[in-house]
Amino acid sequence: MESILKIEHVSKTYTGHKALDDVSMEVPRGSIYGLLGPNGAGKTTLIRVVNHMTIPDCGKVWFEGHEITADDIYQIGYMPEERGLYKKMKVGEQAVFFARMRGMGRQQAVRKLHEWFDRLGLLDWWDKKVEDLSKGMAQKVQFITTVVHEPKLLIFDEPFSGFDPINANLLKQEILGLRDRGATVIFSTHNMESVEEICDDITLINKSNNILSGSVEEIRRKAGGNTFQVLYSGTHEDFCAAVTGKANLIGQSEGVIGGYTQQKIHIPSDDNVRAVIGSLNDKVQLRSFQEIIPSMNDIFIRAVNGTL
Amino acid sequence: MNKIGLIVEREFAERVRKKSFIVSTLLTPLFMIAMMVLPSVLMLKGNSDTKNVVVIDNSPEQFVGKQLTSGKTVSFNLLDEGVTLNAARMQYKSEYGILVIGSDILDNPQNLQLILNDASSMSVEESIQSQIQGILRTERLKRYNLENMDQILADANVRVNGLQTLKNNDQEDESNMEKTSTTASWLMGLILGMMLYFILIVYGQQVLQSVIDEKQTRVLDVMVTSCTPFELMMGKILGIAVVAALQIVLWAVLVIATSAFVLPLIIGTADMEAATAAAMATSGAPEFAGLMAKVTNVGYLAGLFLELLLYIVGGFLFYASMYAAIGSAVDTPQDAAQFNGIIMMPVIVAIMVMMSVMNDPNSDLVFWCSMIPFTSPIVMMARIPFGIPTWQVVVSLVVLFISFFLMTWVAARIFRVGVFMHGKKPTWKDLGAWIKMK
């Protein structure tokens, strides 16, 4: 797939420490891309490089096939982690101001913003000052100001922090909707659950380095390493006989669930999966056979600890 | 350009709606008028009590004490000879003080003491000293036994004032020479210079504060993905400039309206006239007339106003860009203090030089300070009422405007890096590196 954003060998050193060390990544157009990593890994620096807020020491950033220019920045909607709104300004007026700053006409901005405010239940707050809003509501306003001009690329830094589950879900649906309407979304987060749910691809940065990139499904499957959970009834000897030579047992059989025995196995070669199921079917009564796919949370922790 | 316009609009709307803007717009002119009028009114109504001073005079035949005259400030109560200081100290505790005159006062004028029961007062001390000085002088002169002493003294006591100063010109008719007045020029220069100072510092600080606030609330991060740092900086500076312009115009209107209509109602017309007369008496009536002649000359005023405007614009933009650069480089107002001090230094120098303009409006120091852009707005505005060659004003303005462009350029380079820097307070070296950064 064509990529909307491509980062090539970007490095950035601040006095004393390296914030980014030869980081590369490619964001496919129309995808939701997760930028993951522990605190201080360099995610925000990378976002700032993309936004032209920080000049990298070396490396290049490409946007829609050409090296990114200052004008391209206005095609990017950016919601920083630390939210920034003018506290003394009225909510609606402020949203209109930001929309106009990003090139919308006043009429158009007011119309679009009313739609968004209505959808996110903020219309009653149009004439209130930002300082009167709750944190969650201010977040919603910030979200709207980021997306209202329909930029091609959206960058959210920790978009769900400060939201209750209901509003987080609402926001998630909006983000998916934006993707469906053609936008590409990058979001940086520690919240792995949301990554599993909505990200198509990820890059994991740790200690200034890109340590893991790819599609979420692929990464999870790879991290699972062909391990399977088998639930059967029959003797342990029969089970062993069935898998010998094709698979290895992992640990002891783990107790019994409703009369069935549970056992983890590892099948080194993909080609043997069918054969294992076949011979198991002959020797024992197979109740379920399921690949174990680790959660993104596990992968994150293992990748950061270097045990993936 | 469109984005700068939007930012200007936002800055303006936010500031003008603030309560503090309305309050300061209304109160400042009242305060200014009070500052101008109150001293004369107080002087006129002068309600301070007369201080009672008990006098123990040890001089021969109490010649000093007997000649002391009570007045508005001090009234004297001469005690009989032989009353001791200790007895008087106990007895006259409720009086303001006890004046002790030494027996050898005529030859040793230092032998004079004032024992106070109350807080000391400069006017009382001055009144006592000047009276005694006069008495002693007369006594000493008497020793020479000259005839017509008083007449000689009166005759020798010449006072020269009312020197008429005229400005030379090319016209043949000498009556066309313009009358000038040093005091009036100085007064006017002082007012103009102070105005410049006020505008540079007060509104310049607002630019600084505004940038720091935006950096702290992280609005800057959102802003710079919508416009260039230069647009943001210029938008802020110009937005505050528009607010400043509006406020100055409102003040002018309010000051004129208040002094014309409101003050007479409060104080009463008679008192007003008396206060004006008192003010004229202290500043010198001919000088005051000179000033009035000047400020009622429309052509002169228009020229002056144009120069004032140019210096306000150039000076404000020059200083505001420095303030913007500093605001962008730091995280908190505390961090800004160090850099702020450096900006204030030329301003303080300018104020000091401005004060010396009266002595010689064309001295080397004053001349150069009115050319150097850091001090020129304040110093030149103080010089202009003295009537200086036009070429100097033109050169000074050209230098100021070129410097303003240079300063904006430098400030924008610091700004574009500074706005993204958080945490460590930058050093001067860092700022230098930012300017050079590609």
Question: What CATH number does the domain containing A242 carry?
Answer: 3.30.2130.10
- My answer on whether A52 and A20 are in the same domain is yes
Q: Are B248 and B198 in contact (CB under 8 A)?
A: no
Q: Chain B contacts of A101, Cβ < 8 Å?
A: 3, 6-7, 223, 226-227
Residue A108 is part of which domain span? Answer: 3-215
Question: How far is residue B425 from each of residues A48, A89, B26, B199, B337, measured CA to CA in Å?
Answer: 20, 29, 38, 28, 11
Place of tokens 């080609």: A271
Here the tokens at position A243 are 């898998």
The answer to whether residue A41 sits within a structural domain is: yes
Query: DSSP 3-state assignment of A148?
Result: coil
Contact B218 A55 (CB under 8 A): no
Dist CA A192 CA A216 (whole Å):
11
Q: Which chain A residue lies closest to B5 (C-alpha atoms)?
A: A101
Q: Which residues pair with A183 in a beta bridge?
A: none
| Of A169, A196, A215, the domain-final residue | A215
CA distance between the termini of chain B: 23
Cβ atoms within 10 A of the Cβ of B371, count? 16
Same domain, A201 and A249: no
CB pair distance less than 8 Å for A97 and B221: no
Q: Which of residues 191-210 of A touch B (CB under 8 A)?
A: none
User: Domain containing A158 — which CATH number?
Assistant: 3.40.50.300
Per the CB < 8 A criterion, the answer to whether A289 and A247 are in contact is: no
Spatial distance between the Cα atoms of B344 and B322, rounded to a whole number of angstroms: 11
Specify the pTM: 0.74
Span B234-254, pLDDT tens digits: 999 999 999 988 888 888 787
Identify the pLDDT of residue A190.
80
Both structure tokens of A222:
């790879």
Phi and psi torsions of B371, nearest 5°: -105, -35
Our count of domains for chain A comes to: 2
Chain B residues 290-349 with CB within 8 Å of chain A: none
Q: Is residue A302 part of a domain?
A: no
Question: 10 Å Cβ neighbour count for A19?
Answer: 23
Q: What is the pLDDT of residue B288?
A: 57
Q: What angle do the packed helices B182-198 and B333-356 form, to 10 degrees?
A: 170
Best mutation target among B3, B214, B226, B331 (most A Cβ atoms within 10 Å) is B226
**How many whole angstroms from its chain centre is CA A215?**
10
A148 domain-assigned:
yes
Confidence label for B296 from pLDDT (cuts 50, 70 and 90): low
What gap in Å lies between CA A139 and CA A142, rounded to an integer?
A: 5
- Within this chain, do residues A208 and A234 fall inside the same structural domain, yes or no? no
Position A184 scores a pLDDT of 94
Cβ pair B233, B409 in contact under 8 A: no
Is B220 in Cβ contact with A86 (below 8 Å)?
A: no
Tens digit of pLDDT for each residue in A262-300? Answer: 888 988 887 888 888 888 888 888 888 888 888 888 888
CA A54 to chain B, closest CA, distance in angstroms equals 7
Q: Can you give the pLDDT at residue A211?
A: 86
pLDDT digits (tens, 9 = 90+) for A30-57: 999 999 888 888 888 898 888 888 888 8
Per cent of chain A over pLDDT 90 is 29
Measure the CA angle with vertex B20, ends B13 and B34; round to 5°.
130
CA angle B326, B329, B331 (to 5 degrees): 105
Residue B148 touches partner A, C-beta closer than 8 Å? no
Q: Is the CB of residue B342 less than 8 Å from the CB of residue B330?
A: no
> How many Å apart are CA A137 and CA A162, to the nearest integer?
10
Q: What is the mean pLDDT of residues A10-23?
A: 85
Which of A69, A83, A100, A101 to probe the B interface (max B CBs under 10 A)? Answer: A101
Residue A200 is encoded by which pair of tokens? 């198509």
Backbone angles phi, psi at A49, to 5 degrees: -65, -45
Cross-chain CB nearest to A73 (options B221, B225, B438) = B225
Q: Does A80 touch chain B (CB under 8 A)?
A: yes
A149 in contact with B at a CB cutoff of 8 Å? Answer: no
Which candidate, B343, B395, B403, B398, places its Cα nearest to that of B367?
A: B395
CB contact under 8 A, A53 and B18: no
pLDDT at A177 over 90: yes
What is the architecture, at CATH level 2, of domain B51-152? 3-Layer(aba) Sandwich (3.40)
Which residues, other chains included, contact A186 with Cβ-Cβ below 8 Å and sequence gap of 6+? Answer: A5, A27, A33, A34, A35, A47, A153, A154, A155, A156
Residue A159 pLDDT greater than 90, yes or no: no
Is the pLDDT reported for residue B175 higher than 90? no
Distances, alpha carbon B365 to alpha carbons A239, A275, B344, B370, in Å: 103, 100, 19, 9
Which among B357, B400, B360, B359 has a CA at the least distance from the CA of B379? B357
Whether B7 shows a pLDDT value over 90: the answer reads yes
pLDDT at A308: 72
Contact A1, A59 (CB under 8 A): no
- Looking at the partner chain, which of B217, B219, B225 has a beta carbon nearest the beta carbon of A78? B225
Domain co-membership, A9 together with A148: yes
Per-residue pLDDT at A186 = 93
pLDDT at B174: 75
Does the pLDDT of residue B283 top 60, yes or no?
A: no
Q: Which of A215, A234, A258 is the last residue of a domain?
A: A215
Is the predicted pLDDT of residue B423 greater than 80, yes or no? no
Q: Which of A186, A215, A244 is the last residue in one of the domains?
A: A215
- pLDDT tops 90 at residue B8: yes
Domain residue limits, chain B = 2-43+181-436, 51-152
| Nearest partner of A239 among A190, A281, A206, judged by Cα | A281
Residue A33 lies in a domain: yes
- Mean pLDDT for chain B overall: 83
Which of A51, A86, A142 is the closest to B225 by Cβ?
Answer: A51
Complex prediction ipTM: 0.77
Q: What is the CA radius of gyration of chain B?
A: 30
The whole-angstrom separation of Cα A72 and Cα A64 is 9
Please write the tens of the pLDDT for every residue from B56-104. 999 888 888 889 988 888 899 998 888 888 888 888 888 889 999 998 9
State mean pLDDT over A188-207.
86
Same domain, residue pair A53 and A83: yes
Model pLDDT, residue A128: 92
